[in-house]
Amino acid sequence: MAAVHDMLKPLQWLLGKWRSIEGVGKFPTIKDFKYAEDLEFFQFGQPNIQYSYYSYDSTTKKPLHREIGFIRIKPNSNKVAFVSAHNMGLSLIEEGEVTGEEIKVESHTIARLTFGSEPETKKISRVIKKVGDELEQVLYMETSKTPLTEHLRIRYKKIE
């Protein structure tokens, strides 16, 4: 693996492969559910991190959500941006800040398929933080039918 780019030092704690310990999904319009997820953050010598989320049903192992993207950090700042594509037909740009071992971002651009299913996603907000030797993520979502509310909460252990 290439040496970590100097601009990525504030995000170095993310790097590696992570596997979920427990994941819970909920939303006012659906039944609560449990899920599992594999997560990887890696760098390749450039000033960005490539990442992937692969979630699946924790019981049946059936694939669920897929997300791939990049994290960029604004030079000489704590400003970060997630640029991502999702298998259900969304592309997002989320921006926010990294403070210590915590990232808070919120979507400012959401593009979707013209034939995407309803309800339409209007906003995404997420917090990713290191808690001891674990990683935790909480994701909030707003749709055309529901105000911004917690949707996913998951913890991970580093496996590589």
Q: What CATH number corresponds to the domain at position 105?
A: 2.40.128.20
Residue at 16 is within a domain: yes
Residue at 41 is within a domain: yes
Residue at 1 is within a domain: no
Residue at 77 is within a domain: yes
Other CB atoms within 10 A of residue 127 CB: 16
Bridge-partner residues for 14, per DSSP? none
Q: Looking only at Cα atoms, what is the longest distance across the chain?
A: 46
**Distance separating alpha carbons of residues 119 and 138, to the nearest angstrom:** 21
Number of domains the chain contains: 1
Q: Residue 33: which domain range?
A: 6-158
**Distance separating alpha carbons of residues 15 and 90, to the nearest angstrom:** 25
1, 19 in Cβ contact below 8 A? no
| Predicted local distance difference test score (pLDDT) of residue 1 | 61
Residue at 143 is within a domain: yes
Residue at 72 is within a domain: yes
Residue at 80 is within a domain: yes
Nearest to 46 by CA among 17, 14, 4: 4
| Tens place of pLDDT per residue across the chain (160 aa) | 678 889 999 999 999 999 999 899 999 999 999 999 999 999 988 999 999 999 999 999 999 999 999 999 999 999 999 999 999 999 999 999 999 999 999 999 999 999 998 999 999 999 999 999 999 999 999 999 999 999 999 999 999 8
Extract long-range pairs of 29-34: CB within 8 Å, 24+ residues apart.
29/119, 29/143, 29/145, 29/146, 34/58, 34/59
